[in-house]
Structure 1
Amino acid sequence: MAASPSTARAINDRLALEFLQDEGPLTAGQLKALTGLSRPTVADLVERLQGSGLVTIVGETGGRRRGPNARLYGLVADRAHLAALDVRTQSVTVVVTDLLGATLAEAVLPIGSDTGTEPAVEGAAALLERTAREAGAVRLHSVGIGAPGLIDPVTGELRETSGLPAWHRRLVAALQERLTATVLVENETNLAAVAEQRVGAARDRGTDSFVLLWLGFGVGAALVLDGKVRRGASGGAGEIGFLPVPGTSGLPSATACDGGFHTLAGSAGICELAERHGLFAEAGPQEPPAAAVVRAAHTAGAAGDAFLDALAAPLAVGAAAISAVLDPGRVVLGGEVGQAGGTALASRVETRLAEMSPLRTEVVASSLGGAAVLRGALLTARDAAQNDLFAPPG
């Protein structure tokens, strides 16, 4: 059955808005070419979108062209303001952007392990509100939050998890109470995978399935299969830190990942391995110490090469376990450590993995590193704003 005129207009409007979001300012002629719509239809939708306050004229194309056909149309950037939070064990990072993703303000708040739940929650919430004011955001439309821990696949809420600060869970509820914005929370590694998929190392690589192996202070994994993040029955898919592996002194338990893959691939384990190879480096603020030593290995000569060879072995074991079950075709070494390792570490892991598994698996380094969590949270917030602002009226 053919769509009604109003439905067709809504579909065409959203299509044009998405091209303007992804491609930037466009002329009516460029919109016609991208959408495949007729010139009169494009002219009508541009007029409608200008009237709705979503689109405005932002300039003209090259110096030779003037008049209506040269006008560049773009989204109204301040039509909505977005925020993202990267909630770590001992810090919160906040960024506020406009609808186009331009950063307007950002800030970091360290939160010590001795800080009480309510002071931590109040400090993080106040940081967001203060950063929004500095950005000129009178009202936030959507807020994306990346946090460690499990997200309930039914309720979408951050579950209470042993070993994580109580203020994490309370913060999400507090922001939902204090803000009129849409507040969305997701596991930090899943958000990093969304960012790598859409703007990072997994973009345009010929497949819509991959696994992000997060290497930061701790370890984790995100599973993207057939283009979608897979969370598992309880939201725990990718808790690879609990994976039993050879080379540890024991086995993990239901309440602690000591003895699991975390022991070998977490920041502390990597630093111990580096010390055995005579490598030391000072980490930057909020940076996992392992990222510093991995980065230093690139200029440490034979000792650095030997360390990277040794580090590739346990990472390949974790990647082999994932590959044997899921056959994703690609593993992205993510987080600050994965980015610091770069091609030198990724190629070593790929070689070791090929020796253990008959399944062809490409291994690549993250292009976003630790920033992927905030980037993924912003993409999630932007999607929510688009679904609201780009929706047909009524």
Structure 2
Amino acid sequence: MASLATPIAITRPKIIEFGSGTASLAGRWATAQGFSRILVVADAFNAARVDLLGLTGEVTIFGEVRPEPDLPNLEAVLAVAERVKPDLVIGFGGGSAMDLAKLVAVLPGSGQSLQDVVGPEKVAGKRSALMQVPTTAGTGSEAGTRALVTDPKTQNKLAVQSLHMLADIAVIDPDLTLTLPPAVTAATGVDAMAHCVEAFTSLKAHPLIDMYALEGVRLVGRFLGRAIADGSDIEARAGLSLASLYGGYCLGPVNTAAGHAVAYPLGTRHHIAHGAANALIFPHTLAFNAPAVPEKTAAILAALGLKASARQEEVFEGAHRYCAELGCEMKLSRLSVPRDDLPAMASEAHAIRRLLDNNPRDISRDEILTLYEAAY
């Protein structure tokens, strides 16, 4: 883990508008910048409430973003962008919408395909201005430079990272999350926490990011239960939106580790929502890593309001109970995952080296399989 003197680079959107009622600022900013051809990338639910953004001019809405966007989903929105030629792209939704918006802002007219830009910093340049407006509090994608798309042939996530995909403005209005049902609130909140936890315990962890990571965990510990109990609690919603933003800060220079790698096959192979997959896996990887990062593990539990411990059994018990009490499903067998697919899932997860190489403790393919069996 990095010392204070270790070089690190962090990026932020040029403008971050945060707080209740800020959604309408999206339209004001777009108008002030002189944008006239706007493409909004959204899921079906958010496509029906684009009016909340107060946009003017020629507005085209692509409202077919899938929960786990794949190559056909990307190709469909790129086809719309090629026709519209937007000067502003807006990601309006959860991480899926915002990830696709990033790619729509850079690929049309570039001469590059998705395969050309998979990996770090291969994007030739930015083609459209980019605004991100999150409607969930989990991914932190509004603050990041990565986009993930699933290849249906290989069932693997293709990751693109580029500074050209950083938003020009992020508008984070917790009012937009008031419609989230308790189960989605829980899953997305744990996803935000997982970003912070995995960055905090990563081999690439850095004191500059640790402050955001631990505060993000504290915010989840303080507000997630409240938001589930009362979805109209705007202070709790704002706290989770901030935790999600801090998780996004963690992803750029540090990124996630084993937790996300082990969770990914649940989404790519069995279409389990990303947040729900992370919640189910979280106690297992936190406990697995505890011997390698005992002090940080204890700090994580304390930040969640749990008994501080670095003993694997106590770490697992506390984290598992925490997620279960939020209403998260904690058994793979109840999510229609066939047991005979666990070995293939373990092999697939073990191959995600871009994340596993960040993990504070080496985890083998057989250990991942054991973890899946324990979660089954």
Larger helix share, 1 or 2: 2
- The two structures share one fold, judged by TM-score above 0.5: no
Larger strand share, 1 or 2: 1
Highest Rg: 1 or 2? 1
Q: Which has the higher contact order (CA 8 A, sep 6+)?
A: 2
